[in-house]
Amino acid sequence: MEYEKQNEALLSDSGFYWRLAKSFAFTLLIVGFSLAVGTVGYTYFGRLPWIDGLLNAAMILTGMGPVDKMESVPGKLFATFYALYSGIAFLSMIAVIMAPVLHRFMHKFHLEDDE
């Protein structure tokens, strides 16, 4: 995503909202991919029905914790690595959503400082 440079004018409000929408859409792609991987993993390795796999994936992805206990070694290994991935994915999603807002704030602050 391209952001305006230090010496460029501030992006218009409509352009800023469009940038926010694109960031949100990209975040939804990350969420969809993460839920799909988690659902398949919990269903396959944890031998859970797909709805329970989805529930576990969503709970781990949001940092709430697992619902079902993994009994097999492959299930436990998947749950371990999915939890580690989810922590990174969650922080990445927050960064993607916040980047346009923080950039606009810093750019506006810098423009006011130059005047």
Cβ neighbours, 10 Å, residue 33 = 11
Give pTM, 2 decimals: 0.82
- Residues 42, 57 contacting (CB under 8 angstroms): yes
**5 contact partners, CB below 8 Å, separation of at least 6:** none
Mean pLDDT of the chain: 90
Euclidean distance between CA atoms 91 and 97, whole angstroms? 10
Euclidean distance between CA atoms 36 and 40, whole angstroms? 6
CA distances from 14 to 23, 62, 109 (A): 14, 31, 19
Over residues 75-85, the pLDDT tens digits come to 999 999 999 99
Listed as ranges, residues in the chain with pLDDT below 50 are none
Q: Which fold has domain 18-106?
A: Helix Hairpins (1.10.287)
